Amino acid sequence: MGRKGNRRHVKSLSAPNFFGIERKGYAYVAKPRAGRHTGDRCITANLILDRLNATKNRSESDRIIKERKVSVNNRRIRDPKYPVGFNDIVDIDGFGRYIVSVDRKAKAILSEYKEGMPRVLKVVGKYRYRKGEIMLRLHDGTLAKGGSAAKINDSVTLDGKRVTNIIKMREGAGCFVIDGVHVGTLGKIVSIKEGTRTSGRAVEVENSEREERFETVAENIIVTS
């Protein structure tokens, strides 16, 4: 008989690097709910609390979330398996506020969020809605009302669901590598090569720390400034 429905967990040995878990520490790890981020670039909310040592055990993490004491991007959540990914802001009542990033090993890391820091979102899709209104699909699954100025691979900041600022992918723009061999690298765009029928758009990035240059596809970076 065939298996019905989705699995509620994944084996630790085959879990994405983004989870940042000990491969042999657990047999299984919770699988994030589908919908916001892609499955290989998000982790569950209860695993976030575990990583921060905000609770003593998984049961306590689940209870705190179900009591609506945790918010993601200013939205109270109740699902312990709520997907949390890159550039999401996690606020835990009485504990602290953190922003999710990624390190050189493609693992999720959490840094203390400083008030006023802009939350930058990458444009991964664009389409025309009712009455010709332009809608943008962002990397965290958000749909935002945009304009013709924003293009795929640009970045935006939001006020609610309306675009307040567009950060263009251009030469000289600051960027952060979110996937690929050079994941976790901060740098700036030196040049942009337009794609062809067989290959995507590519960018040459200068590493701001090691003063070296490398090339990667545009999908692997997010423009930050």
Average pLDDT, the chain: 90
> What is the per-residue DSSP string for 59-102?
HHHHHHHHTT-EEETTEE---TT-EEETT-EEEETTTEEEEEEE
Burial 62-79 (b: 16+ CB within 10 A, else e): bebbeeebbbbbeeebee
Query: What's the N-to-C CA distance of the chain in angstroms?
Result: 53
How far, rounded to the nearest angstrom, does the alpha carbon of residue 137 sit from its chain's CA centroid? 13
Is 62's pLDDT higher than 70? yes
Rounded to an integer, what distance in angstroms lies between the CA atom of residue 41 and that of residue 49?
17
Domain covering 174-223: architecture:
Roll (2.30)
Instruction: Answer whether 9-112 and 174-223 agree in fold.
Output: no
Average pLDDT over residues 126-150: 88
CATH class belonging to 9-112: alpha beta
Is 25's pLDDT higher than 80? no
Is 122's pLDDT higher than 90? yes
Average pLDDT over residues 27-43: 88
Q: Locate the domains of the chain by residue range.
A: 9-112, 121-167, 174-223
Is 1's pLDDT higher than 60? no
Task: Please give the pLDDT value at position 2.
Answer: 55
User: Which residues, 6+ apart, have CB-to-CB distance to 87 below 8 Å?
Assistant: 99, 100, 101, 119, 120, 121, 139, 140, 222
What's the predicted TM-score (pTM) here? 0.89
Task: Please give the pLDDT value at position 111.
Answer: 94
% the chain with pLDDT above 70: 97
In CATH, the number for domain 121-167 is: 2.40.50.740
Task: Please give the pLDDT value at position 161.
Answer: 79
Task: Please give the pLDDT value at position 26.
Answer: 75
Please answer whether residues 194 and 185 qualify as being in contact, where contact means their C-beta atoms are separated by less than 8 angstroms: no
Q: Model confidence over 151-193: pLDDT tens digits? A: 999 999 988 778 899 999 999 999 999 999 999 999 999 999 9
Task: Please give the pLDDT value at position 4.
Answer: 56
Is 23's pLDDT higher than 80? no
